[in-house]
Amino acid sequence: MLAAGSRALDWPAPVEVLNAGSDTELVLICDHASNHIPAEYRRLGVSEADLLRHIAWDVGAADLTRGLAERLGAPAFLGTYSRLLVDLNRPFGSPTSMPVLSEATRIPGNEELKPSEIERRRRLVFEPFHAAVASFLDARERASKRSRIVAIHSFTPVFLGVPRPWHVGILHDDEPAYAGRVMEGLARDLALIVGKNVPYEIDRASDYAIPVHGTDRGSPALLIEVRNDLISDGDGIRDWTRRLAEVL
């Protein structure tokens, strides 16, 4: 049995909040910030090396979010558990919410889950994360303060053998004007390949943060995908923090 202190570290609060008192219009969400899985799950049957891959988290996204929050003074909400335990950017209970296959990797610990275990992950991880975001945005609305939602993600240079040429993708649901302005700002650097709605498109059936915290509230919202080899070290994080801060 884990000691109390060790258990607290093994089961951290499901959301890390930065700059909670900020009045800055921009609100950052990084739901794939962590690759942490509590010890009792035994890595859900995957290897230590797998936990460093994109299947477990968005490489570089947490540090990029922290850099943007510091530079812009913006509030930020970061997930503290691996997307393999429960994916915070999927409608709860959807086929990829607790995947049994991620890319080409089998996730044994997600196979044949009991209803009680599914409910446990909802109660301990998914629901409190999104409740924290919703509560923050509710308070803003009551105070007649405008919010602009930006979700920070990263993607792999190659997916199932298919190369992805973009350096960054800007995805939107129903806010093409906002996305267009951000894309135009990034495209001033002619060396960048900036894609619209790549490497995938936002779909309410398979996305959560932008539709729920942005579209449903009538707030401008977009999702930024940075290729993860570009933000895998300190220099890359600093470079993309600067790039994105300038356009956001």
For the stretch 166-205, pLDDT in tens is: 999 999 998 789 999 999 999 999 999 999 999 999 999 9
**Residue 56 to residues 17, 80, 137, 140, 160, Cα–Cα distance (Å):** 21, 12, 28, 32, 16
From the list 61, 80, 75, the residue with the least C-alpha distance to 136 is 75
Q: What tens digit of pLDDT does each residue of 41-85 get?
A: 999 999 999 999 999 999 999 999 999 999 999 999 999 999 999
In this prediction, residue 118 carries a pLDDT of: 98
Omega into 199 within 30° of 0, i.e. cis?
A: yes
Domains of the chain: 4-247 (3.40.630.40)
Residues 19-48 have a mean pLDDT of 98
Q: Indicate the helix (H) or strand (E) that contains 61.
A: helix 61-72
Mean pLDDT value across residues 121-125: 98
pLDDT for the residue 6: 65
Kindly report the average pLDDT of the chain as a whole number: 95
Q: Does residue 94 register a pLDDT over 70?
A: yes
Would you state the pLDDT for residue 7?
75
Give the distance between the most distant pair of CA atoms in the chain: 56
Per DSSP, 248 falls in state: -
Question: So what's the pLDDT on residue 116?
Answer: 98
Residue 4 pLDDT > 60, yes or no? no
pTM recorded for the entire structure = 0.96
- In this predicted structure, what is the pLDDT of residue 174? 83
**The two three-digit tokens of residue 195, written as one number:** 């894609």
| DSSP H or E segment with residue 15 | strand 15-18
Collapse the DSSP code of 183 into the 3-class scheme (helix H, G, I; strand E, B; otherwise coil) and give the result: helix
Yes or no: say if 53 and 101 are a contact pair by the CB < 8 Å rule.
no
β-pair partners for 78: 16, 30
